[in-house]
Amino acid sequence: MLRLVECVLSFPESVKVHQEMGSVFHGALMECISAESAELYHHMTLRPYSQAVCWDSERHLPVWRLGFLTDDAYERIFQPVSSCYSLYLKQKNVEVQLGKFVTVKENDYEVLAKHYIQQETAPNNAIWHTRTVMSFKKDGRYVIMPDIRLIYQSLLQRWNAFSPVTRLEEDGLLDQLTNHCQLTRYQLRSQTFSVNGSTIYGYSGQMHYRFFGFDMLKRIQGILTAFAPYAGVGVKTALGMGSVDTVIR
C-alpha cells in the first residue's frame, strides 16, 4: 500500500520553523523506531519512505508529512510514531508537540496503475507544486533546474523497487517518457537545503507539464505523477527534500 499522512506541529515560540528541519526530524524519527529498523534503513540506498517538514499555506501551520511505499515501512515507522505526543529534536534541544496524524491519501500500486490504464481518457497535463526544495545529482553535481528525465528516473527507480506486482520496466521507457513530456510554464526560485552541515542547491515552486505521444505513454506519465507525492522526488527525500503535490488533468 501507498500511504501519505500528516500531522500539525507545535513549536516553542522561540523556534523559527523552516523546511531544513526535515533533516533533524529524520534523526528524531529514527530514535522512535526499533534499533533493528533504524539499522536496516541506514544501509538502504532507496528508502521505502519519505518525510518532510512543510508549511501549510491554507491553514498557516507547519506540518510533518510522511509517505510510505510499503506496508512494512508503515508498520515499522508509523505504528510507533503515531503513538507519540511529541518529538525531542536532539540537535536543536527542542521538544515539538505532534498533533493527530491524518491520512492525506492512500492507494494500492495495482489499483493506482489500473486507474490510469483503464480510465476512458488518458491524462494530458499535470501541475507540480514543490513543498520542499527539490534537487538531483548528475555526474557528481547538483542539478538545480527541473529536468524531466531526472524526475522520471527518480520515480521509476522507486516504483520498480517497491511495487509488489506492477513493474514499469519496458526497454527505452525512460527515453520515451522524457521525449513526450514538455515543461510549458513554471514559477521557480533557486533555493538551498542544509543537511548535516552540507549545503545542497536546488529549486522550489510550481511547474506545468504537457503529456503527448501515444495513449499508453500518457497513462504511464499519469501513474508516475500520482505516485510522486508518496515517494518524493530527487535526492534526500528521507531527509526532508523533494516533497511535492501534483494535480493531473
Q: Is a pLDDT exceeding 90 seen at residue 59?
A: no
Query: Which residues, at least 6 apart from 193, have a Cβ–Cβ distance to it below 8 Å?
Result: 19, 20, 132, 133, 135, 199, 200, 202, 236, 240, 241
Give me 232's grid cell: 518524493
Q: How does residue 15 score in pLDDT terms, banded at 50, 70 and 90?
A: confident
Give the pLDDT confidence score for residue 39 in this predicted structure. Answer: 95
- % of residues, the chain, pLDDT over 90: 87
Cα gap 21→193, rounded to integer Å: 10
**Alpha carbons within 13 A on the beta-carbon side of 221:** 30
d(CA 79, CA 226): 25
Q: Residue 102: pLDDT above 90? A: yes
Q: What is the pLDDT of residues 182-213, one digit of tens each?
A: 999 999 999 999 988 899 999 999 999 999 99
**Residue range 10-39: mean pLDDT, rounded:** 92
Q: Which residue has the cell 499522512?
A: 5
**Scanning the structure block, which residue is given the C-alpha cell 505516485?**
227
- Residue 22: is its pLDDT beyond 90? yes
- Characterize the bridge pairing of strands 61-68 and 2-10: antiparallel
**Strand pairing of 125-130 and 102-107?**
unpaired
Percent helix, strand, coil in the chain (nearest 5)?
35, 35, 30
Q: Is the confidence at residue 231, as pLDDT, over 90?
A: yes
Gap between the Cα atoms of 158 and 166, Å rounded? 12
Confidence class for position 90, pLDDT limits 50, 70, 90: confident
Quote the CA–CA distance of 50 and 74 in Å, as a whole number. 11
pLDDT at residue 170 is higher than 90: no
**Cell digits for 165?**
506486482
Give the residue-averaged pLDDT of 62-72.
97
Residue 126 has pLDDT above 90, yes or no: yes
Question: Which amino acid is present at 227?
Answer: F
**How many C-beta atoms surround the C-beta of residue 42 within 10 A?**
9
Q: What is the pLDDT of residue 196?
A: 82
Given a cut of 90, is residue 151 above it in pLDDT?
yes
Across the chain, mean pLDDT equals 95
Contact present, 156 and 224 (Cβ < 8 Å): yes
| Strand-pair partners of 3 | 68, 106
Amino acid at 208: H
The pLDDT assigned to 52 comes to 97
The pLDDT value recorded for residue 64 is 97
